Structure 1
């Protein structure tokens, strides 16, 4: 069967725009000879819509858009993801995560999602009722086994066994000739490889071809990487990642063309660029601004911004204080030249001195400490917010995951902004991505990469005056935050006890900061924010 795969980037709640994208991809597949076209999960509504589904007009408008799509589809069917009402029962959740087969100007069949995830970034049981049965759709003599995202994931590839049902097994037992999966599977590093292995095992175990259509693009913190797949036995075709793409593949006869997995640094880079491009574009921003410190974090953030939006749309500002080195300003300007972005120098010496003078009567007899350090960060935040307001720039924060984890950042200072671009990227990964970026020519100044990192808020300050070495810090954070391991378990891995206890305590104490932080782009398996819901007021120590 010649199946068109429409790997589409949709916007949550943009029913007319999403319908237009779907029809464009559908017609592209028709031109390539498609006999059926498959789209991603909930593509008509955008994923995830979250509590928008409770708005009185959201689902009716979605269904109206579905009827419009149906009216535009002729004899070649279109399988489209959307949000449906749960009208079949007066009990249960009010909505369904659904797929509809459209053909000959009408809705010919509907399928509802069976397995509703409620872990990590997912909360589908809050909204949707599960399907009571899994039966194939018959079309032109072929029995189509339609599944939606989680329905195809096997216990081996989940965090633990969550479900008593196996929709693919039910469909195959009911005679399905092929398994189709509409998906909105969020990216994290290594996820494309995991999916390919999982889907290959499904196809091999059940002896049926698998067609997997994944969303691309970003909505809020989640990035969807595409990498849609067609798998039949050992043969695999994989679509490119992080781009919209429509292609037709004959599931009865195709040549394997799975691309080798991109290096992790390249995947992370693509995810960050996609996340920023869509966050800005879908919220109506065409330009961004950010502070350039001469450090590696702001350098990488600026490079992502230039790639995502174009260098002409990135406005940098370097704001040296009395403790800033001349090299930091030079590195900021070198970066700006390499990227082709604008960078203005605005010194904060006089403002800082005036603030200290103003507060002096209240601070009599007190030594300078972190208070004065934070003044500098907050002055910079004030200036950057002014730049953002005046020119309608989206202000980008530049802190990495390691710093955010332990609170090595200033609330209302360097945390000011609308999007935290690299807040889910550990410091060691920041270095890896920057070195990958410089593989052919210098983009990030090498001096920025090689010099010891410093906030430059006091004389001769270095990050390692306060923090453990980043390779140690990131190892502990991965165990504590991503794997939820206890202090004793982490110490048993070989880390020094005092360091582990310090890191864990700092993570716990700074939850209040993270809950006020700008949303960040998720690129690891456990990001702060949407996938990690910790109380601020608590006394548990692991």
Structure 2
């Protein structure tokens, strides 16, 4: 029997920082060897560049930087075998590569064969497909390499088995969406059984723009059973202990961190996405408009959990229509969360605008113009504070509002990051209730009161929109499942409501194109997932 300890390096890297990422690989591997006597360290897909590097892959300087990084990894001559991902030119073609570095030498390379080109993935824009299996002997074991999407298709596993592999190392940069970990483990079970070999699945963690990588690295045995499961959203080295008897690889059970609940995983994804966006872009902190409503309340809680109360500022910006309850709840939550809080009335700013516009508005009735002007006054205040303090403005619009355009350009959409951009309104309420189970930081009245933008007397969201319980179902069918209006009506929804919602989604593409990025938690978020033309004659009826 040969005993082998494999470290799954579930790390967070910075896209484009090839020198910094290379140093992190060396530091993590050396520490894992010293503290855990790891024999092999498996790092995520494209570790050296981070994922996704997008058009950085087209930069002429890329190849030289990657070659330098590989030389540094080899020169370190670590007493552990490194398996690491990187992009590299070979024969004039760019490949998504996994390489094996042992005793100071690059002894094997595997080029990713299955290049995803759907949802948020665009790999066929950059990479050429690999063709061949790669089986390399490590500690006497014939080991195959694959990269991310390869494990979702049967051919690479069967190819590796035919080439003599008895263990699979799979490098991943697999982004999060709700239920993703369970999907992964189902696929891994199928592939492990098909290849009759264990799979060591190492995944990236951390946030990159709108994407979040949740880790969840895992070891499954040849029967498809989970032997080790890493924590979600946490960096760390997780060890897989194996035995090789010359015929098959046997797995020891190790740490198996339980799944997070659905709401806990979404909440942690939002925290991770904001934290890494702020920190990796070197913002001092964030500020937001705290209205006393549910969206800003949840956003504040996420911001504090992501960055700490000392890096978060909240601003109440009341107007004539702001209720006393909103003012009280905003101040209450700010006190509960111990954040810097101030109140700046928009009335004098609004009045100044209206005075300047009076000659142009004379004779025209009041409409949404005056409502939008209130939102834009608030946007001006927040951006001015941002410029003065260096804190980034986080906006508070949710997916339901973004879908139907219930937001104001250069007003409540003004900011650098939208925490709730992919969170439907009904889920906003559920997440607020979840957060209060950890500690009651959101005043209960914020959760129980009817939602209102408070831009007009006694205004309620449902004055202009279907109830959110109905709206979110229609939006899920139309936006996330691409069903037609007629299909949705056929499912039992009111025709007038469906046709109005669908039209609002279609005509507000121009707003969404100008919105800040936000964390993706679904399989169809606004942004990289859903690329529709602004100018279009498409009708969504059928």
Give the TM-score band, short-chain normalised. Answer: over 0.9
**In the TM superposition, what is the alpha-carbon distance from 1:17 to its structure 2 partner?**
1.4
C-alpha contact (below 8 Å) 1:37/1:79 kept by paired residues: yes
Equivalent residue, structure 1, for 2:181: 192
**In the TM superposition, what is the alpha-carbon distance from 1:172 to its structure 2 partner?**
1.0
**In the TM superposition, what is the alpha-carbon distance from 1:236 to its structure 2 partner?**
2.5
**Comparing 280-289 with 230-239, which one deviates more in the overlay?**
230-239
Equivalent residue, structure 2, for 1:146: 145
Q: Secondary structure of 1:78's match? A: strand
Is 1:538 the counterpart of 2:536 in the alignment? Answer: yes
Is 1:479 the counterpart of 2:477 in the alignment? Answer: yes
Cα deviation digits, residues 173-207 of structure 1 (max 9, x gap): 11111111000000011111111111122112321
Alignment: residue pair count: 527
**In the TM superposition, what is the alpha-carbon distance from 1:75 to its structure 2 partner?**
4.2
Equivalent residue, structure 1, for 2:15: 12
Counterpart-to-counterpart distance in 1, 2:77 and 2:493:
61
Counterpart-to-counterpart distance in 2, 1:247 and 1:72:
23
Counterpart-to-counterpart distance in 1, 2:155 and 2:441:
49
Q: Secondary structure of 2:99's match? A: strand
Q: Secondary structure of 2:428's match? A: helix
C-alpha contact (below 8 Å) 1:67/1:107 kept by paired residues: no
Equivalent residue, structure 2, for 1:276: 274
Equivalent residue, structure 2, for 1:407: 405
Is 1:296 the counterpart of 2:285 in the alignment? Answer: no
Counterpart-to-counterpart distance in 2, 1:499 and 1:60:
57
**In the TM superposition, what is the alpha-carbon distance from 1:338 to its structure 2 partner?**
1.2
Counterpart-to-counterpart distance in 1, 2:413 and 2:537:
26
Cα deviation digits, residues 381-433 of structure 1 (max 9, x gap): 00000000000001101000000000000000000000111100000111111
**In the TM superposition, what is the alpha-carbon distance from 1:36 to its structure 2 partner?**
1.1
Equivalent residue, structure 1, for 2:233: 242
Equivalent residue, structure 1, for 2:257: 259
**In the TM superposition, what is the alpha-carbon distance from 1:143 to its structure 2 partner?**
1.2
Q: Secondary structure of 1:438's match? A: helix
Q: Secondary structure of 1:166's match? A: helix
C-alpha contact (below 8 Å) 2:46/2:96 kept by paired residues: yes
C-alpha contact (below 8 Å) 1:28/1:246 kept by paired residues: no
Counterpart-to-counterpart distance in 2, 1:128 and 1:499:
44
Q: Secondary structure of 1:28's match? A: helix
**In the TM superposition, what is the alpha-carbon distance from 1:440 to its structure 2 partner?**
4.2
Is 1:225 the counterpart of 2:214 in the alignment? Answer: yes
**Comparing 173-182 with 201-210, which one deviates more in the overlay?**
201-210
C-alpha contact (below 8 Å) 2:275/2:306 kept by paired residues: yes
C-alpha contact (below 8 Å) 2:218/2:226 kept by paired residues: no
Output aligned runs, 1:97-176, within 5 Å.
97-154=96-153, 166-176=155-165
**In the TM superposition, what is the alpha-carbon distance from 1:73 to its structure 2 partner?**
3.2
Equivalent residue, structure 2, for 1:45: 49
C-alpha contact (below 8 Å) 1:7/1:214 kept by paired residues: yes
Counterpart-to-counterpart distance in 2, 1:525 and 1:342:
36
**In the TM superposition, what is the alpha-carbon distance from 1:135 to its structure 2 partner?**
3.2
In the alignment, which of 202, 206, 211 is matched to residue 213 of structure 1? 202
Is 1:78 the counterpart of 2:82 in the alignment? Answer: yes
**In the TM superposition, what is the alpha-carbon distance from 1:493 to its structure 2 partner?**
1.5
Scaled by the length of structure 1, what TM-score is found?
0.95
Q: Secondary structure of 1:439's match? A: helix
Q: Secondary structure of 1:186's match? A: coil
**In the TM superposition, what is the alpha-carbon distance from 1:489 to its structure 2 partner?**
1.1
Hey, which bits of structure 1, 4+ residues long, moved more than 6 A?
Answer: none
Equivalent residue, structure 1, for 2:519: 521
**In the TM superposition, what is the alpha-carbon distance from 1:256 to its structure 2 partner?**
5.7
Cα deviation digits, residues 264-313 of structure 1 (max 9, x gap): 11001100110011001111112111101100101111111111111011
**In the TM superposition, what is the alpha-carbon distance from 1:262 to its structure 2 partner?**
1.4
